[in-house]
Amino acid sequence: MSIQQKINIRNSVLILMIIAAAATRLLNINHISGWTTYTPVGAISLFGGTYFSDKWKAYLVPLVILFISDLALNYMYFHKFVWMDSESIMVYVSFVMMVYIGSYINKVSVANVLAVSLVSVLVHWLLTDLPWLHGGALYSKSLLGYGEALVAALPFEKSLLVGNLIFGAVLYGGFELAKRKYAVLQNNKPMTA
């Protein structure tokens, strides 16, 4: 098997895992079980940043798949396609940052995945609640308003952290186990940032 075929198989498996994780966002659209607050979005971004050797794929694949799943969710909720609004721009910037943070994992371990999960939630929390960047209709465009937005966002950020940990365990753990079983999934290049 050529190196190019090996890379294509590896990338295909990574993409399929990300698609499967993103699809879980659509499984519980009616909030039946309460698991809908624990989404894979952060873990998908971190995972892509860690495993894609081509950095453009690390950014493109998770962001495109998340964008498509957002379109589907918006259509399911609002019965129309919502492409992007002013508030979602900072959310996607935080996902870009999560991919970048994930690229710093040189060796996959529970401690490293936990660390990047925590850092990525902190980045998401600080970026997505900036009231002067996305309109801040609920809070004033002052430091006090920013503080109020940060406090109000704590339950969501807790859910993001739990989602990062659950889906991170599945994605990272699953891929690491698969790499041990199937040599074709091994990357010949060292994992570096």
Q: Report yes or no: 81 and 75 within 8 Å, Cβ to Cβ.
A: yes
H-state helical runs in the chain: 3-27, 41-51, 55-78, 86-102, 110-128, 143-181
| % of residues, the chain, pLDDT over 70 | 83
- Alpha-carbon span 64 to 67, nearest angstrom: 5
Tokens of residue 63, six digits: 């962001």
pTM listed for this prediction: 0.85
Tens digit of pLDDT for each residue in 38-65? Answer: 788 899 999 999 999 888 999 998 888 8
Q: What is the pLDDT of residues 96-141, one digit of tens each?
A: 999 999 999 999 999 999 999 999 999 999 988 777 665 556 777 7
